[in-house]
Structure 1
Amino acid sequence: MAWRITNILALVRGGGTITTLCNTERLFGMKYGLFILALLLTVPGIIKKVEAQESFADAFWQYRASTGFDASSGYYGGKESTSVLYVPATFQATKGAWTVRSVFSYLEVSGPALLIDGSSTGESLGVRTSGKAKGPGDINFYTTYSLESLYDRGLFIDFTGRAKAPTASFKKGLGTKAWDFAIQMDVAQAVGQFVPFITLGYKFSGDPTGFSLRNVLYGNAGLQYTLDNTFTFGAYYDMRQSSIRGAVKPQEGTAYINLRLNDDWSLLAYGVKGFSNNSPTAGGGLSLTYKWR
């Protein structure tokens, strides 16, 4: 089904895409995955048209590929600024109610790498604590099930499981070298051209060498507006527990605009503002998506 929640909310960070030692929470899901917004969801007449095509579309695999960048900078409770450039490559396949997605990435980090929720322990672990590093990031795998029976009510509910493979370098401060897992539920309700949405998830943190991370709850709430067949606007507020017990909760606000270039291509631009000492001061990025069948 082309207009499932995972596409609407693919930008939301609260569920997470990657975990970096410079800030384990900041990149852990850009929404989760980062990534792409569904188009034409609330345009008048589109829902009936899509419903008529549902049985036909569900018989075939539908694919999406996207790439772009996410850049951010902040102190995260520390004394030195940490800047992160994240370049993802996302591949997604959908058939019926099921969607599978994999996210590969490249990272460049400048500043204290082993800065986890404001605590730096890199020297004791033999990991760099300053300077620059770059390399492959962690690989994330997602499986999503959508409740298609609710679509005719304009209600969209998705259940997602995520596994993070620890492929990023620990010594460079690009990853924890520990597996992470997460479960997540996304809910959205179409109300005319508006789509309010909410996400609630739980991350099972891995067990990195030399330090301990706790499991965390995360979530976000936002509102999307479809102007026409070309432009979609939205904003959401993201909050989650800190991986370090007692540390400040990361909180961020994101505003975005999605441009539908044609039936196959779309471009997403967004900006991020941090609202806690454990969030980036500012950030933003672009994502280009191509879909085919």
Structure 2
Amino acid sequence: MLTANSLLASRLARTGRSLSWREHAASVACCHAAQLRNLFRMRDRQASEALGDDAAWIKVPTPTVSHPKHQAWEQFVRHFISAAIATLAIASPAGAADQIGDQSTVTRRTPMGTGAELSTGIEYQDGTFGTAQKVETTSIPTNLRVATGRFQFTATLPYLRIDAPANVVGGGGGLFGLPIIVDPSQPATRVRREGLGDLRLGASYLVPLSGVGLTLMGQVKLPTASQRKKLGTGKPDYMMGAELAKSFGRFTPFADLSYTIAGDPQGFDLRNAISVRAGVAGQIAAGLRGHISYDYAQSLSRLAPDQEQISTGIDAGLTNRLSLGLYGSAGLSQVAPDLGAGLQLGVRLF
């Protein structure tokens, strides 16, 4: 019975055709799989015997088998993608770049002008957030963004599901995704609760400057979440901030600074806090924009340390009206989420 190599060699001998450079390159790459080295040698020998010395160099492309080093690299890539496929957790308490990032004129794909976009998605975060138990937060936000000239207005109302100890309060992270507030008066028994989160209303203005982009931003958190279910603090928060950016070709370095004025719920010792982030955004391709940033936020609660994390994401235009956002974050401090993951699908209304 003829082997696959001898059949190929016979066909090449009849047609007088030599392997193309692509076929040859693929063959050489396959030879790096140690598990198939002996098989390669045997097939090469068979091909040489069938066609003579002139065909001794023929290598038949063979499916590769992952080397252990390759498998480790593939596992790293899968973990990185899992972290990147995430929304910025617009209404959850642990997404450090989300609240101010949704008003950013740098990280968003939609250009300045007049228009409106309605979006929704699903977001997941987990971590201990400085507690002794794991805290899991799932959010389904509904977002409305309206732009007219240099002004932009945003509104976000999420549906939250929190699986955490009873002394963990959701929605208590202020407007920049600050740490979850822990209520020491409540038992640490694990409780799952869900319901509407706090409504967030924001506005931003792109200052007309030459050579540099300066955006002034403000946001208010209205206490629409249930205080009884520990989905929110029951008090409004206020934020003011600014974003500075400078474009260099396809890439735009940027930096944000914001100040959150926390509400004063009974039983909590809260303080006002400063948040900063710095990163770079880039036009990856037509209709595709990405960014990566380092985020730092002071804790509103004196019971929790400050938060540090790395955030990344892309915003892609699927059609003239549909867009897809994929975002992720990885915590660098004890109170930051270990992992944030999700997606956001938007439709342009006009």
Taking structure 1 as the reference length, what is the TM-score of the superposition? 0.78
Equivalent residue letter for 1:132: R
Greater mean alpha carbon deviation, residues 111-120 or residues 184-193: 111-120
Equivalent residue, structure 2, for 1:8: none
Equivalent residue, structure 1, for 2:195: 135
Q: CA deviation at 1:67?
A: 1.0
1:68 to 102, 118, 121: 121
Q: CA deviation at 1:196?
A: 0.9
Equivalent residue, structure 2, for 1:111: 164
Equivalent residue, structure 2, for 1:102: 155
Identity of aligned residues (%): 26
* Structure 2 unaligned residues grouped into runs of 5+: 1-85, 170-178
In terms of fraction of residues, the more strand-rich structure is 1
Equivalent residue letter for 1:38: R
Equivalent residue, structure 2, for 1:161: 218
2:100 to 10, 28, 32: 32
Q: CA deviation at 1:34?
A: 4.8
Q: Is the 8 A contact 2:103 2:202 kept in 1?
A: no
Q: CA deviation at 1:90?
A: 0.9
Equivalent residue, structure 2, for 1:48: none
Equivalent residue, structure 1, for 2:67: none
Q: Is the 8 A contact 1:17 1:28 kept in 2?
A: no
Q: Is the 8 A contact 2:164 2:190 kept in 1?
A: yes
Change (3 A) 1:292 1:185: same
Q: Is the 8 A contact 1:18 1:29 kept in 2?
A: no
Q: CA deviation at 1:27?
A: 4.5
Cα-to-partner distance string for 1:227-280 (whole Å, 9 max, x where unaligned): 220332221111011112363211111121222212222111122110111111
Would you say how many aligned residue pairs link Structure 1 and Structure 2? 254
Q: Is the 8 A contact 1:112 1:120 kept in 2?
A: no
Q: Is the 8 A contact 2:298 2:306 kept in 1?
A: yes
Give the Cα separation in 2 of the matches to 1:64 and 1:145. 17
Q: CA RMSD in A?
A: 2.7
Give the Cα separation in 1 of the matches to 2:97 and 2:219. 10
Cα-to-partner distance string for 1:163-218 (whole Å, 9 max, x where unaligned): 11001011211100001000010112111000111110000000112112100000
Give the Cα separation in 1 of the matches to 2:166 and 2:319. 40
Equivalent residue letter for 1:286: L
1:259 to 2:316 alignment = yes
Give the Cα separation in 2 of the matches to 1:12 and 1:220. 17
Equivalent residue, structure 2, for 1:50: none
Equivalent residue letter for 2:148: K
Greater mean alpha carbon deviation, residues 182-191 or residues 27-36: 27-36
Greater mean alpha carbon deviation, residues 228-237 or residues 275-284: 228-237
Q: CA deviation at 1:31?
A: 3.3
Equivalent residue, structure 1, for 2:257: 200
1:277 to 2:314 alignment = no
Q: Is the 8 A contact 1:18 1:28 kept in 2?
A: no
Mark the structure with the bigger radius of gyration: 2
1:235 to 282, 292, 308: 292
Q: Is the 8 A contact 1:109 1:134 kept in 2?
A: yes
Q: Is the 8 A contact 2:242 2:256 kept in 1?
A: yes
Equivalent residue letter for 2:310: G
Equivalent residue, structure 2, for 1:225: 282
Q: CA deviation at 1:28?
A: 7.0
Q: CA deviation at 1:94?
A: 1.8
Greater mean alpha carbon deviation, residues 62-71 or residues 199-208: 62-71
Equivalent residue letter for 2:274: L
Give the Cα separation in 2 of the matches to 1:104 and 1:270. 19
Q: CA deviation at 1:35?
A: 8.1
Give the Cα separation in 2 of the matches to 1:12 and 1:285. 5
Equivalent residue letter for 2:308: Q
Change (3 A) 1:135 1:160: same
In terms of fraction of residues, the more helix-rich structure is 2
Q: Is the 8 A contact 1:12 1:31 kept in 2?
A: no
Greater mean alpha carbon deviation, residues 261-270 or residues 70-79: 261-270
Equivalent residue letter for 2:183: T
Q: Is the 8 A contact 1:87 1:105 kept in 2?
A: yes
Change (3 A) 1:34 1:67: farther
